[in-house]
Structure 1
Amino acid sequence: MTLIVLLLVLITERVGLRAAHWQVQTYLNYYISIALTRYSKIKASKISLFLFISAPAVILYLALYLLNSGLITFIVSLLGLAICLGNPQSRALYRQYLNAAGRGDREAQLVLHSQLAQEPTIIEEPEAKPEQASDLGDEAQSGDAIANEARQETLGETLIWINFRYYAVPIFYFVVLGIAGVVFYSTLLYLVEFKGIKQGEELENCDAHNKKELELWLEWSYWLPSRLVSLGFMVVGNFTNGLETWLKYAVNFSKSSKEMLCQVAMESDTNTDFADGNNAEHMVRLTKRNMGLFLVVVALLTLYGQVI
Structure 2
Amino acid sequence: MALFSLLVAILIERLKLLPQSWQLDSVLDVYSKSLFGNKQLTSDVMMVLALILPAITVQVAMWAVDGFFWGGVSLILWIGISILCFSHQKQRQLFKSYMLAACRGDSQACYHFADELDPSVPLEAISTEDLGTRVGQIVAWSNYRFYGAVALFLIILGPAGAVFYCTVRYFNDESQKLNLDFPLVIDALKILDWLPSRIFAFGYVLSGQFSHAFVCWRQYGFSISCSARDIVMQVALAAEPHTKRSSAPICIQATLALLKLGKRNFLLLLVCLSVLTIFGVVT
Please report how far the alpha carbon of residue 254 of structure 1 lies from its aligned counterpart in structure 2 after TM superposition: 2.1
Distance 1:280 1:252 in 2: 27
Distance 1:219 1:281 in 2: 28
Q: Identify which of 57, 61, 68 aligns with 2:66.
A: 68
Please report how far the alpha carbon of residue 225 of structure 1 lies from its aligned counterpart in structure 2 after TM superposition: 1.0
Question: Is residue 163 of structure 2 the alignment partner of residue 183 of structure 1?
Answer: yes
Distance 2:144 2:236 in 1: 11
Distance 2:199 2:181 in 1: 31
Q: Identify which of 246, 257, 263 aligns with 1:288.
A: 263
Q: Is the 8 Å Cα contact of residues 24 and 84 (structure 2) preserved in structure 1?
A: yes
Distance 1:237 1:198 in 2: 37
Distance 2:18 2:74 in 1: 23
The alignment yields a C-alpha RMSD, in angstroms, of: 2.7
Q: Which secondary structure state, in structure 2, belongs to the residue aligned with residue 253 of structure 1? A: coil
2:148 match: 168
1:230 match: 201
Distance 1:100 1:25 in 2: 27
Distance 2:210 2:62 in 1: 41
Q: Is the 8 Å Cα contact of residues 106 and 146 (structure 1) preserved in structure 2?
A: no
1:145 match: 129
> Normalization by structure 2: what TM-score?
0.88
Question: Is residue 23 of structure 2 the alignment partner of residue 23 of structure 1?
Answer: yes
Please report how far the alpha carbon of residue 230 of structure 1 lies from its aligned counterpart in structure 2 after TM superposition: 0.9
Q: Is the 8 Å Cα contact of residues 120 and 173 (structure 2) preserved in structure 1?
A: no
Q: Is the 8 Å Cα contact of residues 23 and 84 (structure 1) preserved in structure 2?
A: yes
Distance 2:16 2:10 in 1: 10
Q: Is the 8 Å Cα contact of residues 246 and 260 (structure 1) preserved in structure 2?
A: yes
For structure 1, which segment, 29-38 or 182-191, has the greater mean C-alpha deviation from structure 2 after superposition?
29-38
> Normalization by structure 1: what TM-score?
0.81
Length, aligned pairs only: 276
After superposing on structure 2, the runs of 4+ consecutive aligned residues of structure 1 that deviate more than 6 Å are 196-199
1:307 match: 282
Question: Is residue 171 of structure 2 the alignment partner of residue 208 of structure 1?
Answer: no
Q: Which runs of 5 or more residues in structure 2 are unaligned? A: none
Distance 1:255 1:97 in 2: 29
Please report how far the alpha carbon of residue 198 of structure 1 lies from its aligned counterpart in structure 2 after TM superposition: 7.6
Please report how far the alpha carbon of residue 26 of structure 1 lies from its aligned counterpart in structure 2 after TM superposition: 2.3
Identity within the alignment, %: 25
Q: List per-residue Cα deviations over 1:193-212 (Å, max 9, x = no partner).
A: 1117989xxxxxxx4252xx
Q: Which runs of 5 or more residues in structure 1 are unaligned? A: 123-134, 200-206
Q: Which secondary structure state, in structure 1, belongs to the residue aligned with residue 36 of structure 2? A: helix
Distance 1:259 1:43 in 2: 28
Which has the greater radius of gyration? 1
Q: List per-residue Cα deviations over 1:59-113 (Å, max 9, x = no partner).
A: 2101211222321111111111111114211111111111111211111111111
